[in-house]
């Protein structure tokens, strides 16, 4: 019989639409399977749990090879907003929740959401800047303690 995963810790380092959703989907899927899940928001991934930004996460259109757009076209005003709106409409039809709702759902399942202390310090943020679902701001060492015995996924 194959080994089963009992715990997963996901490092979310990107603050873009296409950077956030894979981590959120994986955490939600883990919880749905009864797997302990933790999310560690570092660097620009903090935007996903930043009170002033989490409702405004956009698709990164410049230099994104998955969009098959020339870098120049991706940098034109409004392209990021148009692509974000397009993907939001498609995802809504597939019953994907918006990022704030997804964060709330995942936290409600008992998943742990944590901010990276080094990144919080770097960007001069405080606990009050982050959404209520974030349990704590922790160091990398504390993250490793939390992740011990499980799988770590970096997105």
72 in any annotated domain: yes
> Which residues, 6+ apart, have CB-to-CB distance to 15 below 8 Å?
43, 44, 45, 46, 47, 48, 53, 57
2 in any annotated domain: no
Count of structural domains within the chain: 1
Residue pLDDT, tens place only, 18-72? 999 999 999 999 999 999 999 999 999 999 999 999 999 999 888 888 888 887 7
1 in any annotated domain: no
* Better pLDDT: 78 or 99: 99
Q: Rounded to a whole number, what is the largest CA-CA distance in the chain?
A: 54
Is the pLDDT at 1 greater than 70? The verdict is no
Give the residue from 110, 119, 152 showing the smallest Cα distance to 138: 119
For tokens 């060492």, the residue is: 141
* Better pLDDT: 145 or 67: 145
Per-residue pLDDT, 69: 80
Is the pLDDT at 75 greater than 90? The verdict is no
Structure tokens at 43: 């660097």
143 in any annotated domain: yes
90 in any annotated domain: yes
Calpha distance 136→41 (Å, rounded): 11
103, with CB counted inside 10 A (0-12, 13-18, 19+), is buried
Q: Which domain holds residue 65?
A: 7-154
22 in any annotated domain: yes
17 in any annotated domain: yes
| CATH at 116 | 3.40.1260.10
């Amino acid at each position: 019989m194959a080994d089963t995963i009992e715990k997963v810790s996901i490092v979310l380092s990107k603050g873009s639409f296409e950077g956030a959703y894979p981590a959120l989907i994986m955490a939600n899927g883990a919880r749905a399977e009864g797997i302990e899940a933790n999310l560690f928001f570092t660097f620009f991934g903090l935007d996903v749990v930043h009170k002033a930004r989490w409702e405004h996460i956009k698709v990164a259109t410049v230099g994104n090879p998955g969009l098959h757009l020339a870098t120049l076209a991706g940098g034109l005003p409004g392209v990021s907003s148009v692509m974000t709106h397009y993907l939001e409409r498609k995802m809504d039809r597939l019953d994907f929740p918006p990022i704030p709702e997804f964060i709330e759902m995942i936290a409600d399942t008992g998943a742990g959401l944590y901010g990276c202390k080094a990144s919080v310090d770097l960007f001069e943020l405080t606990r009050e800047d982050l959404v209520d679902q974030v349990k704590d701001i922790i160091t990398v060492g504390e993250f490793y303690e939390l992740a011990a015995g499980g799988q770590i996924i970096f997105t």
